[in-house]
Structure 1
């Protein structure tokens, strides 16, 4: 451990360590067969995010919201979807959902797969930035290399599109952030540099990226962090110290994003029971958060432990990948639901049969200081 990394590990960089105890909290309602009807038949959909204004409000364009989903064909084993993921654009209006097809042209997609990100409609009302994760490299063999990219586009009559270029934003430094370029990995245990979420800090006017990372200063098997990068006056992005460290606690703090309420910064993320260090405290697959009075912290866990809402104990994998909109609505996708205690080992048909692959029922949150609860 070098001197720089020792300072990081000791908190000199302002990193808040997440050390939860006795993780219990509100359970999400059980998902039913009626909830699992696909919105885009023939495709599995999972991680989602809306086109949002710079202040976080969901953009409504001629009565429609535009949503980006990770998508793939309906494979017999839905686990294979991650190896074929493409970003799909759909819109929601008074007539329901419309499919707008794959989002990015092949020439602008630098990875072998496209993983999650965010999208912002800028203050001019026309310019759009799609931030996303390029997994692997186009035309090369499979890997878990992850890079952060942004595509520039415009808002047209059919929503965001007209993508003109795709640029890499920032790279891991190997000290604060592990260089996530593994050739192989086990689900939940690969290292991370993904999930860019855009934020304009109203206190400074600066643009930031939050992202899922892995600690570069500690080789613990469970070393997830929430990273930060800031855009300078020249438009270039610069890495900063992580905001949250879960070294020794959890390997993946996925899809981090900030929602502002009453001057407070609520930093949300998703994680799963399997990515907690089994030697310590574990929590359910669920939505977690910490709160601070300024972007760089210090943060404290909401509700005492960080858990906002978890899957019910009866169906621990029924939904995942929660995204909180500026309006306080919580979106996610239906994962393996209705298992009723059955295992895939005994019932392999359930892999396909009970995978939702479509948006889960939306719920709302209420914010009250260090408390965040279901409305």
Structure 2
């Protein structure tokens, strides 16, 4: 749809420019050197909660934004340049959802992307399913990102499993749904979608499912996040993946451990087990203007021997710096490390190389020690706000791994399933700090 037709349908597209983490690059493109960065054992061994990196406790007297639904991974509708979009006066967020009468641990097997809209960017009204799931790829759809351009919605998602599969499978492919936007005084809706598979793992840079099944812990290829590089104007997707190859093909690069001084005093607890931790943050460049074809590039970051899953990667920019963020769980760290569920981050003055951990270790945000699972799936917005969802709370000292042995009633009563309070972080050079807590789901 061209812009004139879009305007004729009473859809006014404006950009809410919100900026403590603003795009501030010089218009001149700078030369880049590609090269995968390592999150090392030495880096991750420095992880510890501090006042600057610990979120406040979330009181359990909360109201669910949609009582009939579990709501978890959430992302806002953005402009192509990454700023938060406002369409005919509405902000929009997309979330993974499932019926609230389902056990929380089963929600991933039936996940559906729904959307909410709001005039003020914090009071959300349920719009419905983002698209007809019968037309989408996968037996269910997992998290991604959303961008509006020339009146078209570009909703990137993870196509998980296959239509018609006899039992639940975990194949993951990156997909795009492109549709029309309808907005009026009563709300906002989307229609006329075309779906495309835009990228699958190729086995050279990113592990295929077949390679993972040769002895690895798990397999990931998900969470497509659109990014327009403000230095060059080129378009990319970031995603979660794993370093390519099978465990038997994997060899230790001493650089995975850290500096030479650290290497000299380090001994693996179990090197054979540690090699199964091969998380990576991937990147691919768009090769057409419709965002249906991408070419995989070397990973931005690998966590070999350190961490197995680097979820929902995304970038914000400030000054001349790229700030790369990702989420992971405590049980995804290798046997030589102990670290919390948290938001982790890295910075570089180049998009494709040179990333160093924020706060020395990478930890940007963790739950309080006594409420270690209260929130998850943090996403940093261009204005420094951080959204997440209210996960498992007040577990009476239980580890999250113990929940499977508790009653269904216990699991249901201790799962939040709604947006958590928004946090605001300050970001200065390679340091971060939690500044304050705001209303749940507040993005404005």
TM-score between both structures, scaled by the size of structure 1: 0.90
Task: Say which of 418, 421, 431 aligns to 1:371.
Answer: 431
SS in 1 for 2:379: strand
Unpaired segments of 5 or more residues in structure 1? 1-11
User: Higher Cα Rg: structure 1 or 2?
Assistant: 2
Residue aligning to 2:147: 120
SS in 1 for 2:325: strand
Task: Say which of 379, 388, 392 aligns to 1:323.
Answer: 379
For 1:290 and 1:367, how far apart are their aligned partners in 2?
12
SS in 2 for 1:344: helix
Which stretch of structure 1 is more off in the superposition, 88-97 or 297-306?
88-97
Is structure 2 residue 334 aligned with structure 1 residue 310?
A: no
Is structure 2 residue 180 aligned with structure 1 residue 154?
A: yes
Q: CA deviation at 1:372?
A: 1.9
Matched-pair contact (CA < 8 Å) for 2:127–2:189:
no
Deviations 1:47-77 (A, max 9, x none): 0000011121111223321010000012452
Task: Say which of 416, 420, 432 aligns to 1:356.
Answer: 416
Q: CA deviation at 1:364?
A: 1.0
Deviations 1:224-256 (A, max 9, x none): 000000012565310000000001111100000
Residue aligning to 1:135: 160
Which stretch of structure 1 is more off in the superposition, 73-82 or 146-155?
73-82
Q: CA deviation at 1:160?
A: 5.2
Alpha carbons of structure 1 residues 161 and 182: separation in structure 2 relative to 1, 3 Å? farther
Matched-pair contact (CA < 8 Å) for 1:14–1:296:
yes
**Structure with the bigger percentage of helix:** 2
Residue aligning to 1:230: 285
Q: Alpha carbon RMSD of aligned pairs, Å?
A: 2.2
Residue aligning to 1:241: 298
Flag as ranges the 4+ runs of structure 1 deviating above 6 A. 181-184
For 1:189 and 1:359, how far apart are their aligned partners in 2?
30
For 1:262 and 1:331, how far apart are their aligned partners in 2?
23
Residue aligning to 1:101: 128
Matched-pair contact (CA < 8 Å) for 1:189–1:275:
no
| Aligned positions of 1:55-74 closer than 5 A | 55-74=81-100
Is structure 2 residue 48 aligned with structure 1 residue 24?
A: yes
Task: Say which of 156, 161, 166 aligns to 2:195.
Answer: 166
SS in 2 for 1:274: helix
| Aligned positions of 1:259-278 closer than 5 A | 259-277=316-334
Alpha carbons of structure 1 residues 303 and 222: separation in structure 2 relative to 1, 3 Å? same
